[in-house]
A and B are shown apart, each in its own frame.
Chain A
Amino acid sequence: MRLYTPHLMRIEEVRQETPDVKTLKLRFVDPEMQEKFSFKAGQFGLYSVFGEGESTFCIASPPTWKDHIECTFRAVGKVTDVLRKKEPGDVIGFRGPYGNVFPMESFYGKDLLFVVGGIALPPLRCVIWNALDMRDKFGKVRIVYGARSVADLVYKDELKEWEERPDVELVTTVDPGGETPDWKGKIGFVPTVLDQVAPPSANSIAFVCGPPIMIKFSMPVLEKLGFQPQQIYTTLENRMKCGVGKCGRCNIGQTYVCKEGPVFTAEELLALPMASDY
Chain B
Amino acid sequence: MGDQWSIADLKAWTGSLLGKYRVVAPVSGPNGPVWDEIRSPDDVVWEYGRSSVSPRAWMIPRSESLFSYDVGANSPEIVEPPIEAKPTIMLLLRPCDVAGLRALDCVMRWDYEDEPYEARRKATLFVALGCNAPPSPETCFCESAGLNPKWTDEADVMITRLPDQGGARYRVAVLSDAGRETLAGAPAELSDAKPDGKPIGTVPIDLDAARAWMRGHFDDPSWQKTTEACLGCGTCAFVCPSCHCFDIVDEGDWRRGERVRFWDSCNFDHFTQHASGHNPRPRQWNRWRQRVYHKMLFYPDKFGRLLCTGCGRCVEACPAGMDLIEILQGSAAKAKEGAAK
Which A residues from 227 to 263 make CB contacts under 8 A with B?
A: 237-239, 241-242, 244-249, 251-254, 259
B-binding segment of A31-39, A127-135, A146-154, A270-278: A270-278
> Inside 8 A of B112's CB, which chain A residues have their CB?
3, 244-246
Partner of B294, one of A2, A52, A251: A251
Complex CA gap A76/B219 in Å reads: 31
Q: Are B111 and A245 in contact (CB under 8 A)?
A: yes
Q: Is B18 part of the contact surface with A, judged by Cβ < 8 Å?
A: no
The answer to whether A238 and B272 touch (CB under 8 A), given A4-B259, A29-B76, A51-B252, is: yes
> Inside 8 A of A6's CB, which chain B residues have their CB?
78
The answer to whether A4 and B66 touch (CB under 8 A), given A51-B253, A254-B299, A278-B281, is: yes
User: Looking across the interface, which residue of chain B has its beta carbon closest to that of A274?
Assistant: B280
The answer to whether A277 and B281 touch (CB under 8 A), given A4-B66, A254-B298, is: yes
Q: Are B108 and A248 in contact (CB under 8 A)?
A: no
Q: Are A5 and B78 in contact (CB under 8 A)?
A: yes
Which B residues from 183 to 235 make CB contacts under 8 A with A?
A: 218-219
Interface size on B (CB < 8 Å)? Answer: 53
> Inside 8 A of B264's CB, which chain A residues have their CB?
241, 247-249
User: Looking across the interface, which residue of chain B has its beta carbon closest to that of A90?
Assistant: B71
User: Looking across the interface, which residue of chain A has its beta carbon closest to that of B117?
Assistant: A246
User: Looking across the interface, which residue of chain A has its beta carbon closest to that of B245?
Assistant: A248
Q: Are A249 and B250 in contact (CB under 8 A)?
A: no
Q: Are A91 and B248 in contact (CB under 8 A)?
A: no
The answer to whether A2 and B66 touch (CB under 8 A), given A247-B264, A259-B111, is: yes
Complex CA gap A247/B246 in Å reads: 5
Interface size on A (CB < 8 Å)? Answer: 46
The answer to whether A91 and B282 touch (CB under 8 A), given A51-B250, A254-B302, is: no
Is chain A's binding surface mostly helix, strand, loop or mixed? loop
Complex CA gap A242/B248 in Å reads: 8
The answer to whether A53 and B248 touch (CB under 8 A), given A5-B67, A248-B266, A277-B280, is: yes
User: Looking across the interface, which residue of chain B has its beta carbon closest to that of A247?
Assistant: B246
Q: Are B299 and A52 in contact (CB under 8 A)?
A: no
Q: Is A70 part of the contact surface with B, judged by Cβ < 8 Å?
A: no
Complex CA gap A171/B116 in Å reads: 51
Q: Are B250 and A4 in contact (CB under 8 A)?
A: no
Q: Is B58 part of the contact surface with A, judged by Cβ < 8 Å?
A: no
> Inside 8 A of A239's CB, which chain B residues have their CB?
271-275
Fill in one digit per residue for A28-67: 1 if any B CB lies within 8 Å of its CB, else 0.
0100000000000000000011111111000000000000
Identify the interface centre among B71, B275, B281: most chain A CB within 10 Å of its CB. Answer: B275
Q: Are A247 and B247 in contact (CB under 8 A)?
A: yes
User: Looking across the interface, which residue of chain B has its beta carbon closest to that of A78?
Assistant: B275
Q: Are A246 and B114 in contact (CB under 8 A)?
A: yes
> Inside 8 A of A82's CB, which chain B residues have their CB?
254
Q: Are B280 and A278 in contact (CB under 8 A)?
A: yes
Which B residues from 97 to 129 make CB contacts under 8 A with A?
A: 107-108, 110-116
Q: Are B67 and A2 in contact (CB under 8 A)?
A: yes
Q: What's the minimum C-beta distance from A113 to chain B, rounded to whole angstroms?
A: 26
Complex CA gap A277/B250 in Å reads: 30
User: Looking across the interface, which residue of chain B has its beta carbon closest to that of A275?
Assistant: B219
Q: Is B244 part of the contact surface with A, judged by Cβ < 8 Å?
A: yes
Partner of B71, one of A54, A55, A91, A242: A91
Q: What's the minimum C-beta distance from A140 to chain B, rounded to whole angstroms?
A: 33
Q: Is A19 part of the contact surface with B, judged by Cβ < 8 Å?
A: no
The answer to whether A4 and B261 touch (CB under 8 A), given A246-B107, A254-B302, is: yes
Complex CA gap A80/B67 in Å reads: 21
Which B residues from 234 to 261 make CB contacts under 8 A with A?
A: 244-250, 252-255, 257, 259, 261
> Inside 8 A of B286's CB, which chain A residues have their CB?
277-278
Q: Are A276 and B298 in contact (CB under 8 A)?
A: no
> Inside 8 A of B246's CB, which chain A residues have their CB?
241-242, 246-248
Q: Are B275 and A80 in contact (CB under 8 A)?
A: yes
User: Looking across the interface, which residue of chain B has its beta carbon closest to that of A77?
Assistant: B275
Residues of B in contact with A (beta carbons under 8 Å apart): 66-67, 69, 71, 76, 78, 80, 107-108, 110-116, 218-219, 244-250, 252-255, 257, 259, 261, 264, 266, 271-276, 280-283, 286, 290, 293-294, 297-299, 301-302
Known: A6-B78, A246-B108, A277-B286. 8 other contacts (CB 8 A): A5-B66, A48-B250, A247-B247, A249-B264, A249-B266, A277-B282, A277-B283, A278-B281
A-B pairs with lowest CB-CB distance, top 4: A77-B275, A248-B245, A254-B298, A51-B254
- Can you offer 28 A-B residue contacts whose CB atoms are under 8 A? A4-B259, A5-B67, A5-B80, A8-B78, A29-B76, A48-B259, A50-B250, A54-B248, A79-B275, A80-B275, A82-B254, A238-B274, A239-B271, A241-B246, A241-B248, A244-B111, A245-B107, A246-B246, A247-B245, A247-B246, A247-B248, A247-B264, A249-B266, A249-B272, A254-B298, A254-B301, A277-B280, A277-B283
